[in-house]
Every structure is written in structure tokens, then in C-alpha cells.
Amino acid sequence: MTSFFDVLLGGVFHASVLFLVAAGLQLVFGVQRIVNLACGSFYALGAFFGITAVNWSIGHGAPQWAFLPVLVLAGIVLAAIGPFIELLLRSVYKRDEAFQLLLTFALVLMFQDVLRFFWGANPQQLGNLSMSYGKVAIGAVSFPTYNVLVMAASLAIAVGLGVFLSRTRYGRILRATAENREMAEALGADVRWIYASVFTLGTMLGTVGGALVVPTAAASLDMPVELVVEAFAVVVIGGLGSMRGALVGALIVGLTRAAAISFYAELEVLAIYVIVIAVLVARPAGLFGKPVE
């Protein structure tokens, strides 16, 4: 039973980070109909910027325990790049999807060099800060408190996003714009503003995700591509554009990976993509996606 909980917690932790990146991808696609390959770059930017912010804050006398709020704040501040990138995307909103993919892929490559320019090419880490919050131990199951906080933060963001999109006036406007942009515009919705704010929110999910994960891992130039591949598996399983799909898809991918690693480590990637193929064959729109009419 102890082993089961260890594996379960490992899978849920991975799913928590995946969810944040996939949620950003889903939000942007759901409203703006753009498949944003650069979501992995925002994740990497958040990780590198998070390290800089924490080192700066500790260097200026901030207590060590404050690194978690500093990381969240760093992710939020960094999302300020969102509106500028959205300006770039305006040129391809009405163009073929291939142009949109090319533009966002170009952004991935450009951000690689931005990371290299500001932070160098070597992986960077935050020492042992993640352990400064101690461990949660229930019986023989032991898990770093920081990882539990990341899972809780991810869950809170999922719930918050759900409430925002379904219960608030602005959320309803967003959903209306996602359903029918022209009609929303005709009814007075400021679509330009909506697109900018949605893209910024999507960016923020990625940057906060990257900042939160870095104390337990490392920031490296390989991050954007590594994570975006898994994020797309989440999106395919959950359904493109669905927030519920992002949550369920992330859990499926995270838990499948953890189980595969435990039972037969060589099948780590294969197990995930067997599910992806099964979903594509049986339910092409994904578990929560809308079928194309």
C-alpha cells in the first residue's frame, strides 16, 4: 500500500505541472483558435526567471521560506510579455493553421536563444530550497511538503479557472467569444482586449508552472520541447480547447507515466501514446472536446 501511494503521489505531482501548461494551451486555443507551440517556452522562461527572482530576493535579505511566493510572483510578473506576443499573433488569426503553427514554432526557436542569451546554456538549479518546507509523512509514505503545495496550487488554479470561466461575467463573455467571435463582437464584446487578456492568462499559466517546478528540478534549454510533447498528449486525450479535458488528460498522462515507470520502465512513453492513439481512434475529439461538425 505504501508503494501504491508513493507511485500515486509521483504521478499526481507530474500531472499538476502538466496541467498548468496544458491549461494555458487549452485556454488560448479555446478562445483564439491558435495552437500555441510556444507554451513550453513560457514554461522554461518561468523556470529561469524564477531562479533569478529567488536568488535576487534571498540576496536582498528575504527569508528563505519566502521563495514560494517569490516564484509565484515571478511567474505572474513574467506574464507581462503575453500582450506583446499576442500582438504578433494578430497577423495570423485569420490565416491558415499552418501559418499559426509556423509562427509559434518560430517563437519557440527565438525563445531558446533568449534563454541562452540571458541565462547561458547550462542547466540551472535552486539548490535544496524545495526541502526547506520539510516533508509530509503519513506512515511510511513520505513526500516533500513543497511538492504537496505545488499540487494544491495546481488544484486551486484549476478550480479558480473553472469558477472564472463559468461563474463570472467576463468568463461568460470569453466563452461566448470562443463560441462565435463575430456574434460576440456584434454584441459589443471588445475582442481585441479579450484576446490579449486570454493570451496573457495562458502565458501566466505556463510561466507560473515553470517557476513552481524549478525547485524540484532544473531549468534547462531542453525544457520547452520536452514538456510540450507531453502537453499535446494531454490535449489530445482531454480534447482540444477543454479545461476539464486538460485536468483529466494531465491526470491520465501523469498517472500512466508513473505506473509504467513502476512496472516496466521502458514503456514510459509508449504507454502514454497507446492511450493517445486509442483516444484518437475511438473519440477523435478527445474525452471532453467537441466533435467537429
Partner 1 sequence: MTIQRRKILQGLGSAGAAVAAQGLLGVPAFAQSKPLRIGIIAPKAGVVGTIGECGLRGTQFAVDRINAGGGIAGRKVELVVEEETNPKDSIERLRKLVLQDKVDCVQGIVSSGVSLAMGAVAEEMKALLIFWDGTTQDGVRETMQNPRYVFRSTDNECEAVMASLLAIKHWKGKFATYAGINPDYSYGRNNFAAFEALLKKFGVEAKKVAEQWPKVGTLDLTSHVAALKAAKPDLIFSSLLFADLPIFMKTAHGAGLMDGKTRFAFPGAGFQHTLLKKEFTPEGMIFGHNTLYFALDNASPLQRYFVQDYEAKYKDYPHWEADRAYFAMHIYRAGVERAQKAKNAWPGQEDVINAMEGLKVESLGGPAEMRKDHIAEQTFYQGITTHKNRYDFPTLTDVTRMYSDQLQKPTGMDFWKWIETANIKL
C-alpha span between 3 and 11 (Å, rounded): 12
| The three cell numbers locating residue 284 | 477523435
Structural element, H or E, at residue 49: helix 39-59
Q: Is 17 in the site for partner 1 (CB under 8 A)?
A: yes
How many chain residues bind partner 1 (CB under 8 A)? Answer: 43
Cβ-based nearer residue to partner 1, 32 or 130: 130
For partner 1, give the closer residue by CB, 127 or 284: 127
Map the footprint of partner 1 across residues 126-165, applying CB under 8 A.
Answer: 127-128, 130-131, 135, 137, 140, 142-144, 146-147
Query: Where do we find the cell 491520465?
Result: 252
Binding positions for partner 1, 191-250, rule CB under 8 A:
213, 216-218, 220-223, 226
Q: Exactly one of 88, 106, 110, 121 binds partner 1 (CB under 8 A); which one?
A: 121
CB-count burial class (<10 Å; 0-12, 13-18, 19+) for 102: middle
CA–CA separation, 158 and 15 (whole Å):
12
Go through the chain and tell me how many residues it has. Answer: 293
Residue 76 beta carbon to partner 1: minimum distance, rounded to whole angstroms: 22
SS3 25: helix
Give the amino acid at 89.
Answer: L
- Asked if 109 interacts with partner 1 (CB under 8 A), we say no
Applying CB under 8 A, the residues found at the interface with partner 1 are: 2-3, 6-7, 9-11, 13-14, 17, 116, 120-123, 125, 127-128, 130-131, 135, 137, 140, 142-144, 146-147, 213, 216-218, 220-223, 226, 257-258, 261-262, 265-266
